[in-house]
Amino acid sequence: MQAPAPALLHTQADFLRMHDKVATALQPWLGGWNQFLGARRSDLGATPRPLPVVIRGVDGQNYGAMIVDMMRAYHLAVRWKITGDRAYANDAVKFLNAWAVTLKELGGNSNLFLASGLYGNQWANAAEIMRSYDGWAKEDIARFQDMLLKVFYSRCHDFLTNHNGTETRKVTHYWANWDLANLCGMYAIGVACERPDIAAEAVRYYKTGRGNGAISNSVYYLHPGYLGQWQESHRDQGHSTLGIALAGMLCEMAWNQGEDLYGLWNNRLLAGAEYVAKTNLSDANGTPYVMPFAPYNGVWGVGTAAAGSGSRRPCWELILNHYVGRKGLSAPWTQAMVDQVRPERSDGGDSVGLGTLFFLRDPAPAARPSGLSAHLSDGKVQLSWWGCADATQYLVQRASSPDGPFTSVARVSDPRTCSDAPGQGVWHYRISAVTPLGERIGVDVVRVAVPGELWLHLPLNGSANDASGRGLHGQLVNGASWGTGGRDGTTCLQLDGRTGHVRLPDGAVSTLGDFTLAVWVYWETSAINARIFDFGSNDVAYLALTPRDGATPNQMRVLASRNQFWTEQPLSAPVLPTGRWVHVAVTLAGTVGTIYVDGAPAGSHDGIWMAPNQFGQTTQTWLGRSQYGGDPFFKGRMQDLRIYSGALTPAAIAQLAR
């Protein structure tokens, strides 16, 4: 049987590229090769020093010794694949076999879960390269795979399942890099051990997990121009750049297995990388850039600004050479960082580094502008898009019809964003890139109505079908039913307060910035923490309205979270009355939120950050039910749910409440 070709961080094609570039002394690959050799981890003749127990985080920790041998095995394997010299393969096998026979356990405090992920990942990558070597005996391969599964995978799985005992309390207790380290370890071990179920476990978590390593939580907030605030940005830049390194490795390994994690949520990892890169750069005068920042309220306190700057962790070539090298997009801040650190050095054990040698490729043709989004923000149209690698500027073009004719209304360089005030009407936008070869029209045309329009309308009068024409029909679930007792004696939605609720389609409001939600409600029982609506995907990410807040029981409150803690949303109103029909509405215009009761403003605040579009494709978009399983269901009735793009005026809200 033919030995498997490596397919984690490096493929056979990657090694051939490295060989050809170095053999012909092409820069900057040759500089990358010299960085690789300068690390001295691929020198022949070193002796393995395996340990039965590797300890991290307490007195007597010894994990540094394993890092040295782990890097030797990895670098020796790479050097064999580039040069073809079997002496390096034989030395790599020597290190792999020594540790497979000896290592039995990871120990220490919670830091052992960093060891499981960071080092399980790189050991597995070394093994994946060497599985194609005919000089590594099958029984030795099996022994090493067994060690990976018992010592490293078991800990990766335990951490992502239990989070060191915090899973059922606050899964977001741990920073993004803890999750991402263990996701990398789990994925690499799954491939190296021929366990696709383990690799799939990592992918599921990255796509939909509750912890900070999931893509939606690690890139916490999208600022205009797709600057994606990283979850650890208010902590420090050493850990923020580690998160970028780990997420990049996970996506690269999955890419080489045929799965595109890079592209999730409209290239959300690139948004995070651009934000972190710019945070660590300075302008022409040497002044660090001032970054936009959405307040972050987490287990370690409230973050107020992007902390620190100047980190030069070698993680950028991998990101650049996917999004620009493979996809032809632009990544100006990542590119600026690469320009400062090329050729990338080796990392110190947390990630592989050496990206100039490992990941730099001849660039793909430049793409068309893509990923265009448009939503209302403070009454204006806020546009963001992904640019193309050869663009010098972008033309923002607008038309009254999707077929045009389009007129250029703005000329933009980076950042790739524009705020437009086109006047009342329905408008269509596209982006055209200005390049040395002429204009290149973007992929997308998007539609926006100004000052807004009815987005979803559920009459809830015997029908949960969407009367707006968008097809966003609701579904009655469990104890939800139709009954009498509606306004003016009509049929209405009945919610039993036990299990009944209404489910809206996934992502029903995921493109909205400014919005209005209005509904008639009849609340029978004043239960703390019930929900009128709760739009989210889990108890970590949601936008909700509770008629009686548990923290302030005399208040109705808007709740918003991206990290299992209520992001500070001081938008409240007096507690909702019971025993009668009440019209309730919530509006957001820019950062100004307002609650209306019976057509009159009842509470307002400027400082509301979390618009619906920050939550992406929500999968639990509910009326009458909370994301938290212990919260009570809404007991009462509802009618005439209306959701609008844009914030309705007070006069329009008053008209709905009649």
Task: Give the residue-averaged pLDDT of 507-518.
Answer: 97
pLDDT(1) > 50: no
Question: For 194-234, what is each residue's pLDDT tens digit?
Answer: 999 999 999 999 999 999 999 999 999 999 999 999 999 98
At 180 the pLDDT is 98
Partners of residue 399 on adjacent β-strands: 428
pLDDT tens, residue by residue, 380-400: 999 999 999 999 999 999 999
Q: Is 238 helix (H, G, I), strand (E, B) or coil?
A: helix
Pick from 498, 518, 516, 506: nearest CA to 458? 518
Contact 549, 556 (CB under 8 A): yes
| Higher pLDDT, residue 308 or 388 | 388
* Domains of the chain, each with CATH number or no CATH: 24-213 (no CATH), 221-364 (no CATH), 370-449 (2.60.40.10), 452-656 (2.60.120.200)
Structure tokens at 426: 């329905």
| DSSP symbol at 625 | -
Inform me whether the pLDDT recorded for 564 exceeds 90: no
What pTM, to 2 d.p., does this model score?
0.96
Helix boundaries (H) for 531-602: none
- Contact call for residues 245 and 232 (beta carbons, < 8 A): no
Contact status, residue 454 vs residue 642, Cβ threshold 8 Å? yes
Q: What average pLDDT does range 403-428 have in this prediction?
A: 96
Distance CA 301, CA 235 (A): 10
CA separation for the pair 210, 564 (Å, rounded): 9
CA–CA gap between residue 231 and residue 218 (Å, rounded): 5
Whole-number pLDDT of residue 305: 67
Helix (H) or strand (E) holding 15: helix 12-23
Spatial separation of the C-alpha atoms in residues 574 and 571, rounded to whole Å: 11
Judged against a pLDDT cut of 60, whether residue 534 lies above it is answered with: yes
In whole angstroms, give the CA distance from residue 359 to residue 344: 10
Q: What per-residue confidence (pLDDT) applies to 304? A: 62
Q: CA–CA separation, 465 vs 146, rounded Å? A: 54
- C-alpha–C-alpha distance, residues 506 and 350, integer Å: 37
Q: What are phi and psi of 220, to 5 degrees?
A: -75, -35
Contacts of residue 476, defined as CB under 8 A and 6 or more positions apart, other chains included, come to 464, 482, 493, 500, 502
- What amino acid is encoded at 202 in this protein? A
Helix (H, G, I), strand (E, B) or coil at 547: coil
Nearest to 391 by CA among 432, 434, 431: 434
Strand partners, 383: 374, 418
What is the C-alpha separation between 351 and 538, in angstroms, rounded? Answer: 31
Residue 498 has pLDDT above 90, yes or no: yes
SS3 label, residue 168: helix
Stretch 627-647: mean pLDDT = 97
Burial of 565 (0-12, 13-18, 19+ CB in 10 A): middle
pLDDT at 332 over 90: yes
Q: Are 431 and 396 in contact (CB under 8 A)?
A: yes
Residue 401 binned pLDDT confidence (cut-offs 50, 70, 90): very high
Give 341's contacts (C-beta < 8 A, 6+ positions apart): 312, 314, 316
> pLDDT (tens digit, 9 = 90+) per residue, 56-88?
999 999 999 999 999 999 999 999 999 999 999
Per-residue pLDDT at 300 exceeds 70: no
**How high is the pLDDT of residue 348?**
83
287, 293, 296, 301: CA torsion to nearest 10: 30
Are the C-beta atoms of 399 and 407 separated by less than 8 Å? Answer: yes
| Spatial separation of the C-alpha atoms in residues 475 and 585, rounded to whole Å | 22
The two three-digit tokens of residue 600, written as one number: 């009159």
Cα separation, 412 vs 399, whole angstroms: 18
Averaged pLDDT for residues 468-492: 96
| Distances 519 to 408, 472, 483, 640, 653 between C-alpha atoms, Å | 40, 16, 17, 6, 11
For the record, the structure tokens of 110 come out as 């919670």
The share of the chain scoring above pLDDT 90, in percent, equals 91
What's the DSSP call for residue 313? -
In order, the DSSP letters of 429-468 are EEEEEEETTEEEE-S--EEEEES-EEEEEE--SS--S-TT
Between CA 275 and CA 333 the distance in angstroms is: 8
> Average pLDDT for residues 269-284, to the nearest whole number?
96
| Residue type at position 114 | L
Instruction: Classify burial at 160, counting beta carbons within 10 Å of its beta carbon; exposed 0-12, middle 13-18, buried 19 or more.
Output: buried
Provide the b/e sequence for 515-529 (b: ≥16 CB within 10 Å).
Answer: bbbbbbbbbeeebeb
The mean per-residue pLDDT over the stretch 431-451 comes to 97
Residues 604 and 595: their CA atoms lie apart, in Å, by 6
